[in-house]
């Protein structure tokens, strides 16, 4: 049987439309799993993200992290080709307009995260991930290989099976409004 390459651009378009429809018709709120709360400790650095469009808002997870004494960071990119950095950020700090309609941190304090809350376009039951396609998170995961990679998405973004490319690094867990998928349940 020959392996067909996965049409990632077409899947992205379909899943962004699914995500838009879910938010327009239902809305949702990410539910913080007990196992996530149990991970949190003072002194951890948790990279969150500021959602754009119909992305799931990780704020309930980020707020729980802050309540546990963790420090937050947000991703920062200068463009499609530039590598992504995680910059320390406090909820009282401002945000500035960035590329792709992003709101990004303004300071310049790069940090190495212990936990990375990752926006998703799609995911599968094996915790493979489809992102925006610029490779920003792929490269960040290669750099911060010891960080815990947690995807955040709406349940409608789950597909039967993604076919990972050689550089794709699977997530440790995915958290949605309906529950979570973990490496060991
Ligand atoms: N909220 C959020 N922040 C993030 C990301 C993300 O996916 N979501 N990123 C993830 O890497 C990084 C920014 N990289 C990006 C790379 C490409 C596109 C992009 O191609 N956007 C499409 C529209 C996407 C949509 O409609 O959902 C575009 O501009 O055409 C966006 C972000 C860091 N910050
Ligand atoms: N570790 C890496 N170093 C350099 N380039 C990488 C690395 N990982 C991936 N890339 C490049 O980034 C691009 C990622 O494309 P892909 O379609 O897999 O992104 P994605 O699954 O949507 O994830 P992302 O959220 O990271 O954009 C590819 O062109 C790939 O060659």
Q: How far is the CA of 138 from the centre of ligand 2 (A)?
A: 5
Nearest-CA residue for atom 2 of ligand 2? 139
Q: For 71-97, what is each residue's pLDDT tens digit?
A: 999 999 999 999 999 999 998 999 999
Residue to mutate, 83, 138, 153, ligand 2, most ligand atoms under 8 Å from C-beta: 138
pLDDT of residue 183: 85
Query: What mean pLDDT do residues 151-159 have?
Result: 98
Indicate the domain borders of the chain. 30-182
**pTM of the predicted structure, to 2 decimals:** 0.96
26, 1 contact by CB (below 8 A): no
pLDDT of residue 2: 52
Please report which confidence band the pLDDT of residue 185 belongs to, taking 50, 70 and 90 as the band edges. low
Q: For 27-37, what is each residue's pLDDT tens digit?
A: 999 999 999 99
**Tokens describing residue 15:** 């899943």
Which superfamily, per CATH, for 30-182?
NagB/RpiA/CoA transferase-like (3.40.50.10420)
Q: ipTM of this predicted complex?
A: 0.95
Q: For 122-139, what is each residue's pLDDT tens digit?
A: 999 999 999 999 999 999
pLDDT of residue 168: 94
Please report which confidence band the pLDDT of residue 184 belongs to, taking 50, 70 and 90 as the band edges. confident
Query: Residue 121: CB partners within 8 Å, gap ≥ 6?
Result: 11, 12, 15, 16, 19, 130, 131, 132, 157
């Amino acid at each position: 049987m020959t392996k067909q390459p996965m049409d990632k651009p077409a899947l992205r378009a379909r899943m962004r439309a699914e995500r838009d429809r879910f938010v327009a018709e239902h809305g949702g709120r990410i539910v913080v799993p007990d196992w996530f709360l149990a991970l949190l400790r003072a002194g951890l650095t948790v990279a969150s993200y500021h959602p754009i469009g119909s992305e799931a808002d990780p704020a309930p997870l980020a707020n729980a992290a802050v309540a546990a004494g963790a420090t937050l960071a947000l991703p920062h990119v200068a463009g499609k080709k530039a590598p992504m950095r995680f910059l320390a950020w406090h909820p009282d700090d401002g945000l500035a307009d960035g590329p792709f309609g992003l709101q990004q941190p303004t300071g310049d304090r790069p940090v190495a995260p212990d936990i990375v809350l990752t926006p998703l376009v799609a995911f599968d039951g094996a915790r493979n991930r489809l992102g925006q396609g610029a490779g920003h998170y792929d490269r960040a995961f290669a750099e911060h290989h010891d960080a815990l990679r947690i995807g955040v998405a709406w349940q409608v973004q789950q597909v039967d099976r993604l076919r990972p490319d050689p550089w794709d690094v699977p997530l440790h867990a995915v958290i949605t409004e309906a529950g979570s998928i973990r490496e060991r349940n």
